[in-house]
Amino acid sequence: PLWDIGTYLHPLFKAYPYINLWGERNSGKTKVMLLSSKISFNPIMVSDITPSVIFRVVDQNSCTLYFDEAERLFDDKSTKNDDTSEIVSLLNAGWQQGSSAVRMEKQGEKFEPLFFDSYSPKMIASIAGIKGALDSRSISIIMLRARKDDVKGDSEPDDYDSYQYIRDLLYPLVLKNWRTIKENYSGLGVNKVFKISNRDWQIWKPLLSIAKE
């Protein structure tokens, strides 16, 4: 829930963690993504997307992206390096403010470099797990199959009005509290009371700032 709330606030933070849902088939990864997308900021669900679409929709909408079946991201037969595919490279950069994708676009009679913002919240679901630098930019949640006698395994997110009600509460929450949350974020950077450091501190600091409020 803190991560979902933070999708409305991510421009306040220097970096925002990805969520990595890792588990075998039928462990509820897609279900979690669907439920999160019901209440997050400008959600877009994708399973097959090109790099140019990623940075354009992020630049235009500052959206929350959901990548299902993300093991495809690392299925690059041309290289053994897990971090060199174009989409993975965009994701590796897009967790921090100021990250941009640069493309040469025709402007009139000549080509000019255009910069597209790639920073936005992202949730990634896969069977095999994510690899390389992308893993260090994520909060990992290990998904397990429900027991056969657990009826929750048969439930699905639907279109109840309660999701709209939650979204309607989140917008004023952000408008009323963003300054205090920003102060929390700055204050935590000065007076670190948690035993977290380095990259872990970067990815947890936004959520702790929201939780403090």
pLDDT, tens digit only, all 213 positions of the chain: 999 999 999 999 999 999 999 988 888 888 899 999 999 999 998 876 777 778 788 888 889 999 887 777 765 554 444 444 778 878 888 898 887 777 666 667 777 777 778 899 999 998 877 878 888 899 999 988 878 777 766 777 776 667 888 999 999 999 999 999 999 999 886 556 777 888 889 999 999 999 987
As given in the structure block, the two tokens for residue 13 are 């933070």
As given in the structure block, the two tokens for residue 90 are 């965009």
Report the alpha-carbon distance of residue 39 to residue 25 in Å, rounded. Answer: 24
State the residue for tokens 């309660």.
162
What's the gap between Cα 169 and its chain centre? 21
Q: Which long-range contacts (CB under 8 A, 24 or more apart) does 83-88 make?
A: 83/131, 83/132, 83/133, 83/134, 86/51, 87/49, 87/50, 87/51, 87/54, 88/132, 88/134
3-state class of 47 per DSSP?
coil
As given in the structure block, the two tokens for residue 120 are 């936005």
Q: What's the Cα-to-Cα distance from 42 to each of 48, 61, 85, 111, rounded to whole Å? A: 18, 7, 26, 31
List the alpha helices (DSSP H) in 38-160.
51-61, 86-93, 133-136
Residues near 66 by Cβ (< 8 Å), separated by ≥ 6? 33, 36, 37, 43, 44, 45, 46, 122, 123, 125
